Amino acid sequence: MTDQLATLREKRQQALEGGGTQRIQAQHAKGKLTARERLSILLDEASFQELGALATHQNTDFGMDKNRFPGDGIITGFGKIGGRRVAVYAQDFTVLGGSFSEVQSNKISRILDLAIQAGIPVIGLNDSGGARVQEGVRSLAAYGEVFVRNVKASGVVPQLSLIMGPCAGGAVYSPALTDITIMVDQTSNMFLTGPDIIKTVTGEDVTAEELGGAWVHNATSGVAQVMASDEADALRKTKQLLSYLPQNYTEDPPQLEPYDPADRMDEGLNTLIPADDNMPYDMRDLLARIFDRDSLFGLHSDWAANALVGFARLDGHAVGIIANNPQVMSGCLDINASDKIARHITLCDQFNIPLITFVDCPGYLPGVEQEYNGVIRHGAKIIYAYCQATVPKISIVTRKAYGGSYVALSSKQMNNDVAFAWPSAQIAVMGAEGAARLLNRRGIEAAEDPKAEEARFIAEYKKKFFNPYQAADVGQIDEVIEPRETRPRLIRALEVLRTKVTQTIPKKHGLFPV
């Protein structure tokens, strides 16, 4: 038995050492932690239970029989974050560049299957040079095994992906199938085809950072939802994100002990909206005044900035936020903003997170490019997502709510539960200038002073329609409230809606307007 124990301890030690001291030093030289160092920061102390630590590949081609490492370049197991159980996997770049193999696939698939059965979140730390070329089609098939489980887990347990280094080729699809992707600035990248291949095929000369760095996917492509300044920041944000999410779809999100008075009113909200309709204001400031202090967590903060999405808390309860941002494009909806909003609605709905929508939108962005690129199809995603969502939904019209954007953004017709409006709300079919040209063109043209007649008509139109009272008269707005009252009103509404039950029509699935 003594010899057997010695053998076991030796193999365990080899697994702990990864690719060896030299490769670990090379990893540190790049400003990156090792897989085990990352897990030690992410998980509660002494909570990690590893599975598959001694698994190795059986490939003998191209000298691989001499390159066997316990664990085969990935660490999988269970642990706790803030006392809550999670499943984790972390690719180890010090072992064969973290190359994705059949063994890696088996280990990730195993941990995903167990996470689904146990009903606990899955966190994946990606740091790999890509598929293990020496394994040929087996490595490609291995990706497929993981993808099918990502889809199986979708909507069952939260899935978070951290990109801690390179993530190339087929590997990028697994993070894309998960709920939230976090990238580290300057040290992580994602792309289907690398810079060398692109240069060979298209002649374009681009670096890995320019092609698929954290900023690219957080600000341009929208592939990632969160950007971290370094690895420690990425791990901290992962813990913070997890605090808004339940263990699985059958549970409610964790509730914190309330620390901000439920009846708090902020007088500054009553003067936050400018008197001039065309003047922007800071929607982030508005949100910070309403929700529990320091509880806002934005997603997609640098992409489609004309819309804001994220999480916050009200009286300790997690909520999802959707808001127009008047500081960017006047808060118009466009293709990217539509995708951003629809995705967040679906994310919140699958994990029982109530949705609160703040509306200040003059409509969909006009233009040939938008029409050619399918703004109709993309805009329909918002409508579909709101109509499909069964979680509590509350809307607050703060200023502009024109035309189709009023209907799409959590109106009563989108199965909204409670609709509030501020006195500054302007609920109309279109803006006053457009209405003047449409409804009184002949009168303006025939007038002795066309500009004066147009100004008269605009003033009359604004007086009649640029307020929330007509909508309240016909029941489209439940109540017009003082802005300072918003926080306690939302908290009381959510107290009622927390036990909301919705009946849905049995069907296989609908056709989401992709």
Per-residue pLDDT tens over the stretch 258-269: 999 999 999 999
For the stretch 385-440, pLDDT in tens is 999 999 999 999 999 999 888 999 999 999 999 999 999 999 988 877 777 777 77
- Residue whose entry in the numeric block shows the structure tokens 């779809």: 249
pLDDT at position 142 is 85
> Which pairs from 350-353 meet CB under 8 Å and 24+ separation?
350/154, 350/155, 350/249, 351/158, 351/245, 351/246, 351/249, 351/253, 352/246, 352/249, 352/251, 352/252, 352/253, 352/391, 353/244, 353/245, 353/253, 353/311, 353/318, 353/319, 353/320, 353/391
Mean pLDDT of 64-90: 87
Indicate the SS3 state at residue 228: strand
- Cα dist. 487→267, 313, 353, 416 in Å? 11, 11, 17, 18
Are the C-beta atoms of 320 and 344 separated by less than 8 Å?
A: yes
Cα 146 to its chain centre, rounded Å, is 21
User: Of the given ranges (66-70, 105-109, 288-292, 325-329), which has the lowest mean pLDDT?
Assistant: 66-70
pLDDT at 302 over 90: yes
Greater confidence (507 vs 19) lies with: 507
Report the percent of the chain where pLDDT is more than 70. 97
pLDDT at 157 over 90: yes
pLDDT at 460 over 90: no
pTM (predicted TM-score): 0.93
Single out the residue of 15, 21, 141, 157 nearest to residue 86, CA to CA. Answer: 157
Mean pLDDT of 466-481: 92
Distance CA 350, CA 358 (A): 21
Are the C-beta atoms of 436 and 461 separated by less than 8 Å?
A: yes
Q: How is residue 79 written in tokens? A: 């642990």
- Cα dist. 115→26, 87, 89, 149, 159 in Å? 33, 6, 11, 10, 10
Are the C-beta atoms of 409 and 395 separated by less than 8 Å?
A: yes
For the stretch 122-146, pLDDT in tens is 999 999 887 776 777 887 888 899 9
Q: With the CA atoms of 364, 422, 419 and 277 taken in that order, what torsion angle do they form, in degrees rounded to the nearest 10?
A: -10
pLDDT at position 97 is 80
Pairing of strands 74-81, 122-126: unpaired
pLDDT-derived band of residue 80, with 50, 70 and 90 as boundaries?
very high
Mean pLDDT of the chain: 91
Q: How is residue 101 written in tokens? A: 């193999």
- The H helix count followed by the E strand count for the chain is 20, 17
Q: Identify each DSSP E strand in 389-501 by its residue range.
A: 393-402, 418-421, 426-428, 479-480
Query: In sequence order, what are the beta bridge partners of 426?
Result: 400
Distance CA 427, CA 415 (A): 18
pLDDT at position 4 is 82
Report the percent of the chain where pLDDT is more than 90. 71
Q: What amino acid occupies position 132?
A: R
pLDDT at position 57 is 66
Mean pLDDT of 323-330: 97
What is the DSSP secondary structure assignment for residue 217, as one 8-state letter? I
Distance CA 433, CA 435 (A): 5
pLDDT at 245 over 80: yes
Mean pLDDT of 59-87: 82
* DSSP H helical ranges for 119-179: 137-153, 173-177
Phi and psi, residue 11, nearest 5°: -65, -40
Superfamily per CATH, domain 2-242: 2-enoyl-CoA Hydratase; Chain A, domain 1 (3.90.226.10)
pLDDT at position 426 is 92
Phi and psi, residue 146, nearest 5°: -75, -45
pLDDT at 69 over 80: no
Q: List the domain boundaries for the chain.
A: 2-242, 267-425+467-497, 431-465
Are the C-beta atoms of 418 and 497 separated by less than 8 Å?
A: yes
For the stretch 176-233, pLDDT in tens is 999 999 999 999 999 998 898 899 999 999 999 999 999 999 999 999 999 999 999 9
Mean pLDDT of 90-112: 88
pLDDT at position 379 is 95
Q: How is residue 143 written in tokens? A: 């990706």
Q: State the sign of the Cα–Cα–Cα–Cα dihedral 125, 126, 128, 131.
A: positive
Greater confidence (249 vs 23) lies with: 249
pLDDT at position 463 is 80
* DSSP H helical ranges for 243-363: 283-290, 335-350
Distance CA 472, CA 478 (A): 6
Q: How is residue 103 written in tokens? A: 């063994």
pLDDT at position 438 is 77
For the stretch 6-52, pLDDT in tens is 776 777 776 777 778 888 999 999 999 999 999 999 999 999 999 98
pLDDT-derived band of residue 441, with 50, 70 and 90 as boundaries?
confident
Longest dimension (CA), the chain: 107
Residues found in the chain: 514
* DSSP H helical ranges for 31-101: 35-42
Distance CA 6, CA 2 (A): 6
pLDDT at position 61 is 65
pLDDT at position 54 is 67
Mean pLDDT of 154-171: 94
The CATH code of domain 267-425+467-497 reads 3.90.226.10
Mean pLDDT of 163-175: 91
First vs last Cα of the chain: how many Å apart? 61
Asked if domains 2-242 and 267-425+467-497 share a fold, the reply is yes
Distance CA 492, CA 137 (A): 57
Q: How is residue 446 written in tokens? A: 């025939």
What is the DSSP secondary structure assignment for residue 145, as one 8-state letter? H
Phi and psi, residue 248, nearest 5°: -160, 180
Phi and psi, residue 53, nearest 5°: -65, -25
DSSP codes, 260-292: S-TT---GGGGGTS-SSTT----HHHHHHHHSS
Single out the residue of 201, 2, 12, 214 nearest to residue 126, CA to CA. Answer: 214
pLDDT at 464 over 90: no
Q: Where is mean pLDDT largest: 67-76, 338-347, 407-416, 428-437? A: 338-347
Mean pLDDT of 56-80: 76
